[in-house]
Structure 1
Amino acid sequence: MVASDDGYVVINDGADDEARRRIFFLDQRCAVVRTVSFPSRPRDTEDLAIGRDGTIWVADIGDNDRSRPTVGVWRLAPGAKQPVLHRMTYPDRPHDAEALLLDASGRPLIITKGGSGTVFLYAPTTALRADATTPLTALGQVTLPTTTTSNPFSFLGRGVITGAASAPDGRRVALRSYADAFEYDVPDGDVVRALTTGTARVTPLPDEPQGESITYSRDGRSLLTVSESAGQPSGTRSTILRYPATATTATAAPLTESAAPALSTLARPIAEDTTGLGGWTWPLAAGAGVLLVLLGLAGVLRWRHTARR
């Protein structure tokens, strides 16, 4: 999920249902105002980013088995009817990744999911082309701060990155795990240097069921998160949570009608299923889609979400 000037842009995470394999545009009240289909089937969409010119980038970078020969980003230019796929390949080996950022020039940066508190940054070596596979290059690594924040995956959940976001003014970026958000200052526009050499401010995101989505509010004052609904009791409604941006000891609280009426509607059923979202306003992106997660030990250790394909 990303916030836009008109409302929000959301995707499902690796949806098997064709009707849910779309980019959804919501208004300020979170009603679906239009959808954009993919021209071919995405493999595993995991995150969203929005460029300064309004271009929407969809990160098709999930790879639970670490076996994909290529990953991709879908680029939806303002006014375009369909996104264009740009394929990329890692220089070393396949990686599972769930986070995407844009640098000051609009170049996409992939942040791997990791697993032990260290994640890696990759970016295209040349300008992306729709008719070619672009090599990626490694740009460095990020060592995540150590925390004790409670989450469903215990210490494992604190050492992976499941989403990323840029502040509207570009002067801050945030990475998130299943447990925390890590904010970095980007005073000179160099996102890579900020992540690899900067000091993160930690905002705990305690006990989110499976937090894989994060975005900044349009005023940059809040971090907004949402969990996947998979594995939750039948009929559970996903709730967007607000945390103060740049805080060190934030406490999550569900948004209320008085605090943010546009966001609270995300957990409300719609009258008619005309959205392809299964009868609910489920704007779940960057890992906030509809999956079935089997929380067996082997699955947790490999950070696999089964039933995506």
Structure 2
Amino acid sequence: MNPRHRRLLIPGLLIALLVVVVVATLTGRADAATSSAPTDATAACTLTDDRIDEQSGLAVSAAHPDTAYVVNDSGSDPEVYAVDLTSCEVVGVTELEDVPWRDPEAMALDGSGTLWIADTGDNNGVRDDARLYSLPEPGREDGSVRPEVHPLTFETGREDVEALLVDPTSDAKWVVTKGWTGGELLALPDTLPSDAVSTATSTGVSMPILVTDASITPDGHYAVVRTYLGATLYDVRDDFAQVASIELPQQPQGETLAVEPSGTTFLAGSEGVGQPLYRLALQTPEPVEAPATTPAAAETESTWTPSTLVWVAGATIVGLFAGALLLRRRRRT
């Protein structure tokens, strides 16, 4: 590459990245103003309790009917709220004692009734203290508990992680990284001690951009992974091969998702007081033969939604145009 052109490459790429962010924001706002929810989406209830203002983690109980658990984002008190799904009223608050509560972003229940909380948010990429908390499922009552703390690190370096997957049939666990260009599925060890740091290892399975939550069906067969724009269904037993795309209701900041115990519905929530918990039907396919494409190809396709392609195409065009203008100005100078 011509040295003069190389000097112009970085400014052009920076402009392109800025355009991606701006277009994404404006597109999301425009969609929220003009689009309606999917036809099968209904509001299970509306969260009006002002203590739940930045919900970031959601899990639905199999032991306590019509009960979900919610945690708030960074800056919140170390508390788990039990919510009645017929009214969205808070029916129990569990305080977590002696925990370095920093940025909890996801929750999941395993098959033995243990609630797992992922304190793994890292928007600025500065944390070296990611961790999981585990505690007995609280149920519909107030109380306090000292959970086990499981220090965690990521093989891929510092990561912003907002999705935790727990297979209730095997207790296998994964996390999903959140990235502007795509995420990755990382596998957790079978044993997570409290006196040593565990490492989440790369699986090579690509995930969509900006993943904010995920949940596995009760039979351990499928995983639903959500972003701000929509959700994707994966076949866990087929190395997380993508099997379907799912439209979600437009939400101010869609952060949570949890499959319900029936396995036929799931809930989707957003940050903010007065936001509904939407209930949507979960349609899983019948077993089919493996597609002609390789799993790697299918995973790559899953990270590029139509909206993403529009953003990237627009950013590329603007970046090239900006580079050309800079080159022309340089020549004139």
Q: TM-score, normalised by structure 2?
A: 0.60
Partner of 1:105: 170
Q: Which of residues 50, 70, 84 is equivalent to 2:109?
A: 50
Choose 1 or 2 for highest CA Rg. Answer: 2
Contact conserved, 1:222 with 1:244, CA < 8 A, in 2? yes
Identical amino acids, percent of aligned pairs: 29
Partner of 2:214: 164
Shift of 1:78: 4.7
Partner of 1:33: 91
Question: Following the alignment from structure 1 to structure 2, what is the Cα–Cα distance between the partners of residues 101 and 245?
Answer: 17
CA 1:123 to 1:220, structure 2 compared with 1: closer, same or farther past 3 Å?
Answer: same
2:239 aligned counterpart, secondary structure: helix
Question: Following the alignment from structure 1 to structure 2, what is the Cα–Cα distance between the partners of residues 219 and 137?
Answer: 31
Shift of 1:65: 0.8
Shift of 1:200: 2.9
CA 1:179 to 1:247, structure 2 compared with 1: closer, same or farther past 3 Å?
Answer: farther
CA 1:63 to 1:243, structure 2 compared with 1: closer, same or farther past 3 Å?
Answer: same
- Write out per-residue CA displacement over residues 181-203 of structure 1, whole angstroms, 9 at most, x where no aligned residue: 111233xxx4xx532xx123111
Point out where structure 1 has 5 or more consecutive residues left out of the alignment: 145-158, 230-235, 249-309
Contact conserved, 1:99 with 1:161, CA < 8 A, in 2? yes
Contact conserved, 2:175 with 2:188, CA < 8 A, in 1? no
Partner of 1:87: 151
Question: Following the alignment from structure 2 to structure 1, what is the Cα–Cα distance between the partners of residues 188 and 216?
Answer: 19
Count residues with an aligned counterpart: 217
Q: TM-score, normalised by structure 1?
A: 0.64
Q: Which of residues 241, 254, 276 is equivalent to 1:239?
A: 276
- Write out per-residue CA displacement over residues 189-225 of structure 1, whole angstroms, 9 at most, x where no aligned residue: x4xx532xx1231111142211010111221222211
Contact conserved, 2:111 with 2:170, CA < 8 A, in 1? no
2:219 aligned counterpart, secondary structure: coil
Pairs within 5 Å for 1:1-309: 1-5=58-62, 6=64, 7-14=67-74, 16-18=75-77, 21-29=78-86, 30-38=88-96, 39-78=98-137, 81-103=145-167, 104-116=169-181, 118-125=182-189, 127-144=191-208, 159-186=209-236, 190=237, 193-195=238-240, 198-229=241-272, 237-246=274-283
Partner AA of 1:134 in structure 2: S
- Structure (1 or 2) with the greater helix fraction: 2
CA 1:242 to 1:78, structure 2 compared with 1: closer, same or farther past 3 Å?
Answer: closer
Contact conserved, 1:88 with 1:133, CA < 8 A, in 2? yes
- RMSD (CA atoms): 2.2
Point out where structure 2 has 5 or more consecutive residues left out of the alignment: 1-57, 139-143, 286-333
2:164 aligned counterpart, secondary structure: strand
Shift of 1:95: 0.7
